[in-house]
Amino acid sequence: MLINILNVIAWAVLFIAALPIVYTGIITLAAVRRQTPAPNNAKQLKIAIIIPAHNEALLIQDTVKHALAQSYPTDKYAVFVVADNCDDDTAYLAQASGAQVFERHNNPGKGQALEYAFNALLLDDWEAFLVIDADSTLSHNALLALNNEFATGATALQLFDTIKNPTASMRTLAMQMGMSSFNGLRPAGRTALGQSAGLFGNGFSLLRHTIEQCPYKAHSIVEDLEYHIFLLEHGHKVRLVEYASSAAQMPVTAKNASSQRERWELGRIAMIKHYAKPLYKKTLQGHRWALEALVDIIMPPASLMMLLTVVAMVLGSQLVKIASLILIATLVLHYLIASLRFGSLLGFLKVSIFVPWYIIWKTWLVLKSIIRKKKLPWIRTTRHKE
């Protein structure tokens, strides 16, 4: 009797895990083929690079200098730093490095800073906008790639949002593998399937008429996830540009990594609470955009998928164990392909040893975020000079 009950529980747990894993398998297959770069376009858009910054004096000069080193006509782009409620030298150092600076002294937040910048720059003749984080390094072909992709009909684009210090620690190596999947292979697969790639906060770009039609009113701690919902509602799908990138610095220590991850998880949980029910209702009404947005916010982390599958395998019958192994193999294959495409094979092999601990750490952070139910402000992740 007990065995039968455990087997029923195992099948139920396995079914819950299988839905996102099968979806992951589908987009993995769709992403196997590399994206073909858009052909060069003779018309060059005038692009404003926006960098929201809160107390980023340590790295803002490097970020601005890299942003100004684009393989793009210098009269067709400029860098704007939004020094948001800073009490350090961010504004001064950004201006000294060649950026134009906006300073804000109330209502702090990344979303609020971006809304301020968009509203100010729309008063000028900018034709497109690129948002990057204050610790990021743009690839030299970023603006050229965006310009060419916009010429093919895209209205919203996302550069490959990657990590610039993967070898700093085993933790950052694990983050590289995670970002190779979440910011690389998954959006590549969604783009190939004609879905929206999603926004990742760093390296996203919008045409002028996109931001005019869909103002940046996203003020949550995960404002990129929230704004993606608004874009989908207005009929705009985001396309990944996998052959150009914006590489951000990831925290090296456990304390800083946990703080950053906790904010992300708290923000995602808040999005689920606020948007999941209305998006579900709109999905039932036949709105396809709502289904895309719903999947985007409720997609569980791979650590949780793996944990549920392992639980089902331990509790279930031989058939459940076989099905669980197939699902685990699907996830492993996904991360192997993601590492080959967007990370490193050596990193994948090294991190494989670290995976059990990473799953426990990530699951604990998710559970802690749910329990705390705490609203967090825009807190700058601790930076370091490389």
Q: What is the pLDDT of residue 374?
A: 53
Under 8 Å between Cβ of 197 and 158 = yes
Please state, as a whole number, how many other Cβ atoms lie within 10 Å of the Cβ of residue 383.
Answer: 17
Contacts of 41 (CB under 8 A, 6+ apart): 147, 148, 150, 151
Q: What is the pLDDT of residue 270?
A: 85
What are the start-end ranges of the E strands in the chain? 47-53, 77-84, 100-104, 128-131, 137-138, 156-163, 204-207, 238-248
Contacts of 383 (CB under 8 A, 6+ apart): 56, 58, 59, 135, 249
Q: What is the pLDDT of residue 373?
A: 54
Q: What is the pLDDT of residue 89?
A: 95
Q: What is the pLDDT of residue 172?
A: 85
- Whole-model pTM: value is 0.88
Q: What is the pLDDT of residue 169?
A: 82
Query: Using N-to-C axis directions, what is the helix angle for 254-284 and 288-298, rounded to 10°?
Result: 150
Q: What is the pLDDT of residue 175?
A: 86
Residues in the chain: 386
Q: What is the pLDDT of residue 375?
A: 52
**Per-block mean pLDDT, blocks of 10 residues, the chain (386 long):** 84 95 97 93 95 95 96 97 96 97 94 97 98 96 98 97 88 88 96 96 97 95 93 97 94 63 74 92 95 93 89 92 95 95 88 70 61 55 56
**How far is it, in rounded angstroms, from Cα 162 to Cα 241?**
12
Ramachandran quadrant class, 201 (left: phi over 0; alpha: psi -120 to 50; beta: rest): left
CA 22 to chain centre: 21
Under 8 Å between Cβ of 166 and 176 = yes
Q: What is the pLDDT of residue 104?
A: 96
